[in-house]
Structure 1
Amino acid sequence: MQRVGTVAELSAPEPKRVTPNMSQVTSVSQLSDVRPTDWAFQALQSLVERYGCIAGYPDRTFRGNRATTRYEFAAGLNACLNRINELIAASTADLVKKEDLNTLQKLQEQFATELAALRGRVDALEARATTLERQQFSTTTKLTGNVFFNLTGAFPTGDITAERNPATPGNAIAPPVRQGGARIPSRVLRGQPNITFSYYAFLNLNTSFTGRDQLVTQLVSGNGNSPANQLVSAGFFNSWGTPFLDQTGVLTTGSVSVRELFYSFPVNNSVRIAFGPRLNFYRYFDQNRFTFFLTGAGSFNSNGSTLSNAVDRGSGAVVIWNITPQLRFTTAYLGENTEFLNPAAGFNTSSDPARGLFRATNTISAELAYSPTPSFNFRFLYTRSNLNPTAAGFIGGSPGEPVPYGYVDDGFGGALQESASDAFIANFDWLITPRFGVFGRYSYGRTDVNPVNPVRAGGDVRVQSFQVGLGFPDLGKKGALGVISFVMPYDYIGGREFLLSGGGDGGTQYDLELSYFYPLSPNVAIVPSFYTIFNANNFNSNSTVFIGNIRTQFTF
């Protein structure tokens, strides 16, 4: 670029970026892109040498391959004005010479337009910085959240038989009773439930002290109760036909509870540890790109294995070891401490001094995940559980996996002691093309039956489940996801005589789910889902149940 000889000849192009991290020099005589004979050079030299108010770069240029722009001159002039104002404000005005003030006035007149533009930009930046400071929750904490609205209806094509207590037929949690010499669990008929409209919400506080660690606090509130819960057998509350995000999630409708609370930090570049009083099992285990509850198959029976985990949230620790970029090993110990379970009923046992962290219902889990390519993931999970009986002396209900859900007694209505169980789960997802993928999951579980009555022989309950499905990323729009999922949630292959609920009449239930995640914007999505339940509650005699859900979700 041709150089100019006077300040008046300088053009005023848009300012260019300068590299902020280059070290600076403070003598104008070192700047090679302003000629020493220029009036501007003489003015800068006089001011800078006396007051040290403008800087250049070590290569002795403002930008060594071009002339100084008027905006660059204005920036330097502004620096000198600020410096001299500082001296005057500090009562050292005698250090400022009158002729320098005259020079500054002349420069201000010649660069009035550029100074005004520069100060306008500075004011705008300061306003934005002030806004950010005012809106930021703290210097180390980031606030995010999710809110979900659910419109849900369940439509059985006839009455549904469910194993429940006849004294409380509307209660999907109270265990049934054994009837007569045949010891058949009590049954009730359930009819058409009403359509519901509900909400569920997460509020996440993510705090970092070093930039690599994380303290996570997740608060939850909700009032959901899916219509399908009016049809399920006892213990199967929030299972088939219930969208995961259509739940209450707290002890009392509309209250607020701590859902997750843990601290995680890196040990080194490949190992990370998380520990805390309330860790979420599903944050670390049995994940799948097509069954993630926010975007994929979203019912309780489809977004993860039905045979895990006895501890949804628990106290303890998780270790994640990235052995190679393709191979990851995760292990955890968790003592049951789930936000929606009532301590008065004997839950949240890890914080109960009568049982504590190690005598409570607890799980030890280990998962090996192999991802040879970004498009294919395979995971193998093993969980060993120690299951405390309920207040009635039964194994099962919400913290009963891998039973799962239903209740187990000694086969005669009698109580059980603590029981051990094992669950084995294989899970894969494969994105065959950018717009089509397949996924699947197979689970096997075994639970010991240890009667309190020494006359009863005991035994075990063995159960399997499987899931297969198709995924359609970017279906209709970038970021959308269509999913078809087919699940056999629980097929009892041994120990049906110990099932107080869940065994049905010997049938096998199947769930078919269609879901479509459609983002309206980066922060708002509509998610319609449709479920068809065959042989509900494992009764071959039960009619088919159709369930529809429309979810609107907001992310901030």
Structure 2
Amino acid sequence: MEQVTSVSQLSDVRPTDWAFQALQSLVERYGCIAGYPDGTYRGNRAMTRYEFAAGLNACLDKVAELVTAGTSNLVKKEDLQKLRRLQEEFAAELATLRGRIDVLEARTANLESNQFSTTTKLNATVWFNLTSAFPTGDIRAERSRTAPDSPFAAPTRDANNRPTRVERGQPETTFSYYAFLTLNTSFTGKDSLVTQLVFGNGNSPANELVSAGFYNSWGTPFLDQTGTPTANVVGIREMSYTFPVGDKIQVAIGPRLNYYRYFDGNRFTFFMKGATSFNSNGSTLLNAVDRGSGAAVTWQVAKPLKLTAAYMAENTEFLNPAVFNTASNPREGLFNSSNTITAQLEYAPTNSFNLRLIYARSSLKPYNGFIGGAVGEPLPYGYADDGFGGRVRDSGADAFVVNFDWLLGRNFGLFGRYSYGQLEINPVNRDRSGGDIKVQSFQVGMGFPDIGKKGALGVLSFVVPHDYISGRRFLLAGGGNGGTQYEVEGSYYYPITNNIAIVPAFYAIFNANNFDGNPTVFVGNLRTQFSF
């Protein structure tokens, strides 16, 4: 409520209103009437005796102020008599109101003396994950024969130039946790300094079945991970500062920007409530830099169009800093590390439909001589060599993504993605010819918001995470025997309270690791989510 000095400031009060003169007197003679922030009085709204007592108390205080100031000639005798009668009639409500104010002031003082910060808000989210993977037979995977239990050790090529293969059996059920602590600081009310801490101990069972380089990809719930190179160790997931430039532009800078705050969003696949697996949360081909050092600019071109562009150099929290985090390494630095330049045009003509067109140009460094792993997109994980087991040089890559979500009704919507990627292969051995790996991926699905309860979300998703068009000869891990892997996923986010939710999810993976003879793998995950 805002104080007014003239009844003309109240836009919904007219001289023809039956109480106009009374209001005019209270406003202009005593100054004890307040309006709403939008300039209205809303005189037809019903009020409680406590609300009336609050208004009466304001007028009593104003009269006392006028008398004390020696301006009692402004206060009419009959007005004082009326106020005394009202004061007697509402004595109980006034006493209660003063008591409530005293309690509120005491609570406010206590909060101010014990608050964490006047500028910073702390939010936390914790997830418990119970996960099982059930292959219907032994799973063939391309892995090192000398380290078959490692999902990171690259295979070698045998006498037939074929990547080495191993058989993987039934993994055990796991129960793990993952957590975010997010500090949001604002100095002006329009800016935001984000510091997000992460820790966890998840190692999902499907990681026992994947080919080398595919750790935390197919069959793995996104929230079933450690979040850092070492389990149970706190790391910094995000650190960035966002501020406005005018009314239509937002600029974000930082040593650890979260790529997915700016690109490839989708109402039905966001990991907090939507599709739950790594392969369904976003494009499998789009970007090798999950978190990076750099800047992002978002421009609201016009009401339906928004343009976002960013440069980020690799600085991802879950990768080993002894090998990765190249943006903060002076030997490679901000502009000579694995990096990406991305642009996204978003078209949102209504609240129910969003279309995103994304292009990313990346410069990728080989690690241990090969392109791939978690920093290999548009190579969707796996490893690429020169086609003969030899090492490769830095490589350029392009990715194109079309992404939409469409809410067709209160409880039903559609979504989809198409991604295309091209990765250059530049052998270290000058006698070897290079080439390109060309790959595409597809995703279509249905969303069911508010099914069963307001705030709930059911999702069904079909994904082909990597369909190689050409260049399969360069794949050291991921090519399989020429098959094409595809996945079906279902999940249901159910909020028990405002702070607790459960999320059962079920996946079926066919032709795992791109071997068309591999048995089907089923994965079940039960997630409990705590937000506070």
Please give the TM-score of this superposition, normalised by the length of structure 2: 0.87
Which of 105, 111, 118 matches 1:126?
A: 105
Give the superposition deviation at 1:490.
0.3
1:229-308 equivalent positions in 2, closer than 5 A: 229-308=207-286
CA contact (8 A) 2:241 2:253 kept: yes
The CA deviation at 1:475 is 1.1
What's the secondary structure of 1:242's corresponding residue? coil
Hey, what's the Cα distance between the residues in 1 that align with 2:127 and 2:252? Answer: 28
- Match for residue 186 of structure 2? 208
Residue among 313, 317, 332 paired with 2:295? 317
Matched to 1:406, the amino acid is: G
The one-letter code of the counterpart of 1:119 is R
Q: Distance in 2 between matches of 1:70 and 1:206?
A: 39
2:110 & 2:67 partners in 1: Cα distance?
29
Deviation, structure 1 residue 477: 1.3
Q: In the alignment, is residue 149 of structure 1 matched against residue 128 of structure 2?
A: yes
Contact residue 74 and residue 111 of structure 1 kept, 8 A: no
For the Cα contact (< 8 Å) 1:33–1:62, is it kept in 2? Answer: no
The 2-side partners of 1:201 and 1:254 are apart by 10
Write out per-residue CA displacement over residues 382-413 of structure 1, whole angstroms, 9 at most, x where no aligned residue.
Answer: 100000010x2100011000111000001111
Asked whether the equivalents of residues 272 and 321 of structure 1 are also in contact (C-alpha less than 8 Å), the reply is: yes
The answer as to 2:326 corresponding to 1:349 is: yes
Q: Rate the CA distance shift 1:81–1:382 in 2: closer, same or farther, 3 A.
A: same
1:330 partner amino acid: T
2:378 is aligned with 1:408: no
Alignment partner, residue 524 of structure 1? 500
For 2:118, the equivalent position in structure 1 comes to 139
Deviation digits for residues 243-285 of structure 1 (CA, Å, limit 9, x no counterpart): 0011111111011111010001111111111010000111110
3-state SS of paired residue (2:274):
coil
Question: In structure 2, how many angstroms separate the alpha carbons of the residues matched to 1:273 and 1:188?
Answer: 48
- In the TM superposition, 1:44-443 aligns within 5 A as 57-60=27-30, 62=32, 113=92, 116-134=95-113, 136-180=115-159, 182-345=160-323, 347-390=324-367, 392-443=368-419
Pick aligned residue for 2:437 from 441, 444, 461: 461
| C-alpha separation in 2, matches of 1:539 and 1:69 | 76
- Aligned partners of 1:112 and 1:428: how far apart in 2? 62
Equivalent in the alignment of 1:22: 4
| Cα displacement (A) at 1:451 | 0.6
Q: Determine the C-alpha separation between the residues in 2 that align with 1:70 and 1:423.
A: 66
Q: Does the Cα contact within 8 Å between 1:33 and 1:61 map onto a contact in 2?
A: no
Per the TM alignment, residue 135 of structure 1 is displaced from its structure 2 partner at its CA by: 5.2
Measure, in 2, the Cα distance between the counterparts of 1:149 and 1:336. 29
Contact 1:219 1:257 in 2 (8 A): yes
- Please tell me whether the aligned partners of residues 5 and 31 of structure 2 are also in contact (alpha carbons under 8 angstroms): no
**What letter corresponds to residue 257 of structure 2 in structure 1?**
L
Cα distance in 1 between the residues matched to 2:276 and 2:137: 25
Contact 1:470 1:484 in 2 (8 A): yes
Q: Alpha-carbon deviation of 1:33? A: 6.8
CA–CA distance in 1 between the matches of 2:484 and 2:186?
48
Given that residues 32 and 62 in structure 2 are in contact (C-alpha distance below 8 angstroms), is that contact kept between their aligned partners in structure 1?
no
CA distance in 2, matches of 1:501, 1:349: 24
Deviation string for 1:43-66 (max 9, x for gaps)?
Answer: xxxxxxxxxxxx96325464599x
Structure 1 residues 498-537: aligned runs within 5 Å = 498-537=474-513
Q: Give deviations 1:158-203, integer Å, cap 9, x for gaps.
A: 00011111111110011111111x1111111110000000011111
User: Cα distance, 1:133 vs. partner?
Assistant: 2.0
SS of match in other structure, 1:194: coil
List runs of 5+ in structure 1 lacking aligned partners.
1-18, 25-31, 35-54, 86-106
SS at match of 2:375: coil
Distance 2:31 2:118 in 1: 37
Q: Deviations over 1:55-91 (max 9, x none)?
A: 96325464599xx977666556678999999xxxxxx
SS of aligned partner of 1:58 = helix
Does the residue aligned with 2:108 lie in a helix, a strand or coil? helix
Letter in 2 for 1:241: G
Q: 1:156 to 1:72 in 2, by over 3 A?
A: closer
Q: SS at 1:206's partner residue?
A: strand
The one-letter code matched in structure 2 to 1:193 is P
The 3-state SS of whatever aligns with 2:148 is coil
Please say if 1:487 is aligned against 2:463.
yes
> What is the alpha-carbon distance in structure 1 between the residues aligned to residue 383 and residue 249 of structure 2?
39
**In the aligned structure 2, how far is the partner of 1:382 from the partner of 1:74?**
63
Q: Secondary structure at the match of 1:380?
A: strand
State the 1:136 CA deviation.
3.3
Q: CA deviation at 1:554?
A: 1.1
> Residue 466 of structure 1 contacts residue 489 of structure 1 at CA under 8 Å; is this kept in 2?
yes
Aligned residues: 492
Cα distance in 1, alignment partners of residues 53 and 419 from structure 2 = 72
Does the CA-based 8 Å contact 2:257-2:292 persist in structure 1?
Answer: yes
Provide, for residues 91-119 of structure 1, a one-character-per-residue CA deviation record: whole Å limited to 9, x for no partner.
xxxxxxxxxxxxxxxx9999864653243
1:393/1:22 Cα in 2 relative to 1: closer, same or farther (>3 Å)?
Answer: same
Q: Which residue identity does 1:58 align to in structure 2? A: E
**Could you tell me which amino acid in structure 1 is paired with residue 213 of structure 2?**
G
Contact 2:32 2:58 in 1 (8 A): no
Q: CA RMSD in A?
A: 2.9
Query: Which residue type is aligned with residue 434 of structure 2?
Result: G
CA deviation string 1:320-375 (max 9, x = no partner): 01111111111100000000111212x00000000100000000001111112221
Secondary structure of 1:521's counterpart equals coil
Does structure 1 residue 550 correspond to structure 2 residue 526? yes
Q: 1:411-463 CA deviation, whole Å, 9 max, x = no partner?
A: 11111110000011111111111211111111110101101111111111111
TM-score (norm 1): 0.83
* Counterpart contact for 1:152–1:227, Cα < 8 Å: yes
CA contact (8 A) 1:75 1:115 kept: no
8 Å contact from structure 1 (residues 160, 231) kept in 2:
yes
Distance in structure 1 (CA, Å) of the matches to 2:65 and 2:181: 45
Aligned identity (percent) is 62
Question: How far did 1:128 drift?
Answer: 3.0
